[in-house]
Chain A
Amino acid sequence: MLLTNYQTDSFYDEMFSEEGGIRQSYHILKSRIEGMDDKELLKRKASAEKALLSLGITFNVYGDEEEEERIMPFDIIPRIVTSFEWKKMEEGLKQRIRALNLFIQDIYGDEKIIKDGVIPAEIVYSSSGYLKECKGIKPPKGIWIHITGTDLVRDGDGQMLVLEDNLRCPSGVSYVLENREVMKKTFPELFASLSVRPIYDYPIRLRGMLEHLSDKPNPNIGVLTPGIYNSAYYEHSFLASRMGVPLVEGTDLTVRDDKLYMRTTKGLKQVDVLYRRIDDTFMDPKAFRKDSLLGVPGIFEVFKKGNVALANAPGTGVADDKVIYSYVPDFIKYYLGEDPIIPNVPTYLCSREKDLKYVCENIGNLVVKAANGAGGYGMIIGPVASEKEKEEFVEKVKADPRNYIAQPVLSLSRIPTLIEDKLEGRHVDLRPFILYGEEIYVMPGGLTRVALRRGSLVVNSSQGGGSKDTWVMG
């Protein structure tokens, strides 16, 4: 019933084809939704939301005192990815992660890529994620980016593109896992009739990957969190719990004789591997930000001496930079000799004079972003910005061109989403999670983020975005 009045409005729709027909992979889902009366669907949505609240699957919104905790709005209509399509994405992501890891190793090592003129040195050195302190370091097993969340989008032609790589502390995987559990309770009959690839083993694989980083048979592992006021605290605690390792705060750790220890009721216990969810520069007030109260003084030195493995390794943020992102296809060619399987979104670098001129003249048709912005902050969406906002943004860009990139406004694909009591198309992206240990593993699925406001392209949870379960078919 709900689907009969659904309009794709000439956007690429994940569920419906251009001709208005349903895509093959959504047949069963569609017939189930149609077999359900509207009330039933709303009832299931309400019970799913209640389950999330009751489980306390919430995130904190900074600067919002009245309601410090919220559930991320969750939509019960899943996104379905065919196994064929997934295989390509999986290969593309593995290729990308391999190249990114080689790049990070290279720039903190011999800098061959700079010497060979593939990327200008000043672009690398001026990145805020570049840590000169990491120069010369070789982390355990040569792996820097153990956990990556790469954002993929589908444009108006249905083409999958990489929007950005999150290489520091990508978050959202707990929502993926919990959403799935809630969906299994909400639509048991759908799971019974579809072969959705399970994701339940992610924490076990994460643990295995962390164990791989130490040479000890039973390494002591911990998850480092900034504490309960961090927006992703729930996730930190969830992952520690599912892995069966302690969740620690900076004050639970101490450095003695170049080793890292945790304070226990039976005295100090050495830590071998730390999955840290604190940004690089907050991790060690001795090495980086002196004002950080979150980290552990001296931990960087312990890492440098090889006495603790840190995931992700410090310094990986250099490749989070949106300017450096634009070079990733070149990295793939340079290090692997391959063509990128998943292309980038075309990107203008304001540090290039020609690009800057184009961006300033065409800001009305572009999305302009700060190179190191995140969470939907520090950006402007040309077509919906006022003249004044555009003028002000142009000034900002001109004052610091290195810090800005621009991309064409993508017509992100849409998918039916339950808005109040009917289904409407909403724009989505997809964040799969990739683990790099003994081998590279891509979790089959990922966080589908959905821009709940009509017409909005911003999917970040801090900007009113929600999430959906992603089903990769077996």
Chain B
Amino acid sequence: MLSRVAESVYWMNRYMERAENYSRFLDVNFQLSLDLNEDSNRQWMPLVYTTGDNELFSRKYNSPSKENVIHFMSLDTENPNSIMNCLIRARENARTIRENISTPMWEVINEFYLTIKSKKKFEESDMPGIAEFFKAIRNQCLLFYGCQEATISHDEVWHFALLGRLLERADKTTRILDMKYFILLPAREEVGSTLDLIQWLSLLKSASAHEMFNRFYTRITPKNIAEFLILDKIFPRAIRSCLSKAFDSLKILSGSEKDSYGDETEKRVGVLLSEMNYASIDEIFSSGMHEYLDQLQVRLNGIAAQLDETYFRN
């Protein structure tokens, strides 16, 4: 397949995944804010930190109010990562590779864009319907994945699509965990309090992981949650699971034999994956989870850069 097509299908999926993650972050935080009757500034700014776009936000807005943060992360076209921008870019990518995707896929992405494009700004009066709004976004993204899964051949195009989605997802899971760890980190006396518990729960919800977590764990503790979201083998948002599937796709793309590797990207993912296969959550906690997540983010970025080099730049 054309290198440019591979790159576009990869980014189309990264952007859709990002839009979905943002809508979930925002929704969960909104629900959380209803439970916690506290200063809204404290409640909403961490979200902006998590996305790494805090400098841009501070330059543009004078307060991290609910409306401002929601607007910034969903509709603000000056924010390169806003849901709106993700959608514009996903659609732009889809447009350049239309002949490689199915009509249903294109229709989902195009109709999604046309719907959200008409929304310009959030007002206080929009808040009663906001949960529905985020849900609609999530559903459109899920519809897109489903459509992709069911209507295009699982050939190279599909594997590049998967890689985009999985690498983005792994990255976002590290950020969700990090949000709790260093921004929502409660004061010592709050550990184990209702507030603490609600925050950890909302974190699980941010990863749509609440029900699945409950099926495998009996106690909601920071360690259990971190273990589930980092090291679980089969939960689709767990970092290890994402990497394991990405590794499978890379292996198919490079055509390498078992116990060997075909290119640098595959090697990097393979090395990271085996480290995770032999890691324990106790080790991660004792060496510092924030540091661990930081490292993970750096390595995921390295993998993405290597993928770009190997497949998109020849």
Please list the residues of chain A having a beta carbon within 8 angstroms of any beta carbon in chain B: 53-56, 227-228, 233, 237-238, 240-241, 245-249, 251-252, 262-265, 267
Chain B residues with CB under 8 A of A238: 98-99
The CB with the most chain A CB atoms within 10 A, among B99, B107, B111, is that of: B99
Chain A residues with CB under 8 A of B6: 265
In the bound complex, how far is the Cα of B253 from the Cα of A267, in angstroms? 13
Interchain CB contact under 8 A, A237 and B98? yes
Q: Which residue of A lies closest to B255 (CB)?
A: A266
In the bound complex, how far is the Cα of B313 from the Cα of A264, in angstroms? 10
In the bound complex, how far is the Cα of B118 from the Cα of A53, in angstroms? 15
B58 interface residue per 8 A CB criterion: no
Interchain CB contact under 8 A, A246 and B107? no
Q: Shortest Cβ distance from A346 into chain B, in angstroms?
A: 43
The CB with the most chain A CB atoms within 10 A, among B98, B103, B156, is that of: B98
B5 interface residue per 8 A CB criterion: yes
Q: Shortest Cβ distance from A390 into chain B, in angstroms?
A: 43
- Known contacts A251-B4, A252-B4; is-contact A246 B99 (Cβ 8 Å): yes
Mark contacts of B55-93 with chain A using CB atoms, 8 A cut-off: 1 yes-contact digit, 0 otherwise. 000000000000000000000000000000000000010
Q: Which residue of A lies closest to B92 (CB)?
A: A228
In the bound complex, how far is the Cα of B314 from the Cα of A62, in angstroms? 33
Chain A residues with CB under 8 A of B95: 56, 228, 233, 237
Q: Shortest Cβ distance from A260 into chain B, in angstroms?
A: 14
A237 in complex: contacting residue of B3, B92, B99, B156, CB < 8 Å: B99
In the bound complex, how far is the Cα of B5 from the Cα of A263, in angstroms? 10
Chain A residues with CB under 8 A of B311: 265
Is the interface on chain B under 10, 10 to 19, 20 to 34, or 35 or more residues?
A: 20 to 34
Mark contacts of B92-120 with chain A using CB atoms, 8 A cut-off: 1 yes-contact digit, 0 otherwise. 10011111100100110011001000000
In the bound complex, how far is the Cα of B5 from the Cα of A56, in angstroms? 19
Please list the residues of chain B having a beta carbon within 8 angstroms of any beta carbon in chain A: 1-6, 92, 95-100, 103, 106-107, 110-111, 114, 156, 160, 253, 311, 314
Q: Which residue of A lies closest to B109 (CB)?
A: A56
- Known contacts A249-B4, A264-B1, A265-B1; is-contact A241 B107 (Cβ 8 Å): no
In the bound complex, how far is the Cα of B92 from the Cα of A237, in angstroms? 13
B2 in complex: contacting residue of A56, A227, A233, A252, CB < 8 Å: A252
In the bound complex, how far is the Cα of B218 from the Cα of A20, in angstroms? 84
In the bound complex, how far is the Cα of B94 from the Cα of A233, in angstroms? 13
Interchain CB contact under 8 A, B107 and A55? yes
Interchain CB contact under 8 A, A263 and B99? no
B5 in complex: contacting residue of A227, A246, A251, CB < 8 Å: A246
Q: Shortest Cβ distance from B157 into chain A, in angstroms?
A: 10
Q: Which residue of A lies closest to B310 (CB)?
A: A265
A246 in complex: contacting residue of B2, B103, B111, B156, CB < 8 Å: B2
Interchain CB contact under 8 A, B99 and A241? yes
Chain B residues with CB under 8 A of A252: 2-4
Interchain CB contact under 8 A, A54 and B2? no
In the bound complex, how far is the Cα of B116 from the Cα of A224, in angstroms? 32
Chain A residues with CB under 8 A of B92: 228
Secondary structure class of chain B's binding surface, majority of residues: helix
Interchain CB contact under 8 A, A54 and B107? yes
- Known contacts A248-B2, A252-B3, A265-B253; is-contact A228 B110 (Cβ 8 Å): no
Interchain CB contact under 8 A, B103 and A55? yes
Chain B residues with CB under 8 A of A54: 107, 110-111, 114
Q: Shortest Cβ distance from B147 into chain A, in angstroms?
A: 14
Q: Which residue of B lies closest to A243 (CB)?
A: B99
Interchain CB contact under 8 A, A56 and B110? yes
Q: Shortest Cβ distance from B109 into chain A, in angstroms?
A: 9
A267 in complex: contacting residue of B103, B160, B314, CB < 8 Å: B314
The CB with the most chain B CB atoms within 10 A, among A55, A228, A241, A262, is that of: A241
Interchain CB contact under 8 A, A264 and B3? yes
Q: Shortest Cβ distance from B148 into chain A, in angstroms?
A: 16
Q: Which residue of B lies closest to A248 (CB)?
A: B2
A263 in complex: contacting residue of B3, B106, B156, B160, CB < 8 Å: B3
In the bound complex, how far is the Cα of B114 from the Cα of A248, in angstroms? 27
Interchain CB contact under 8 A, B98 and A241? yes
Chain B residues with CB under 8 A of A263: 2-4, 314
In the bound complex, how far is the Cα of B4 from the Cα of A240, in angstroms? 15
In the bound complex, how far is the Cα of B110 from the Cα of A227, in angstroms? 18
Q: Shortest Cβ distance from B189 into chain A, in angstroms?
A: 55
In the bound complex, how far is the Cα of B94 from the Cα of A235, in angstroms? 15
21 contacts between A and B (CB under 8 A): A53-B114, A54-B110, A55-B103, A55-B106, A56-B98, A56-B107, A227-B96, A228-B95, A233-B95, A237-B99, A238-B98, A238-B99, A241-B99, A241-B100, A245-B99, A246-B5, A246-B99, A247-B99, A251-B4, A265-B2, A267-B314
In the bound complex, how far is the Cα of B96 from the Cα of A238, in angstroms? 11
- Known contacts A54-B111, A55-B107; is-contact A265 B3 (Cβ 8 Å): yes
Chain A residues with CB under 8 A of B5: 246
Chain B residues with CB under 8 A of A56: 95, 98, 106-107, 110
In the bound complex, how far is the Cα of B1 from the Cα of A56, in angstroms? 24
Interchain CB contact under 8 A, B156 and A265? yes
Given contact pairs A53-B114, A241-B99, A252-B2, a sample of 7 additional A-B residue pairs in the complex whose CB atoms are under 8 Å apart: A54-B107, A233-B95, A237-B98, A241-B98, A245-B99, A247-B98, A265-B253
Q: Which residue of A lies closest to B95 (CB)?
A: A228
Q: Shortest Cβ distance from A59 into chain B, in angstroms?
A: 13
Q: Shortest Cβ distance from A214 into chain B, in angstroms?
A: 20
Q: Shortest Cβ distance from A255 into chain B, in angstroms?
A: 16
Interchain CB contact under 8 A, B96 and A228? yes
In the bound complex, how far is the Cα of B95 from the Cα of A267, in angstroms? 24
In the bound complex, how far is the Cα of B97 from the Cα of A248, in angstroms? 10
In the bound complex, how far is the Cα of B92 from the Cα of A316, in angstroms? 33
Q: Which residue of B lies closest to A267 (CB)?
A: B314
Interchain CB contact under 8 A, A264 and B2? yes
In the bound complex, how far is the Cα of B3 from the Cα of A246, in angstroms? 11
Q: Shortest Cβ distance from A256 into chain B, in angstroms?
A: 13
- 6 nearest A-B residue pairs (beta carbon): A241-B99, A240-B99, A237-B98, A56-B110, A265-B311, A263-B3
In the bound complex, how far is the Cα of B160 from the Cα of A55, in angstroms? 24
In the bound complex, how far is the Cα of B155 from the Cα of A264, in angstroms? 14
In the bound complex, how far is the Cα of B97 from the Cα of A233, in angstroms? 11
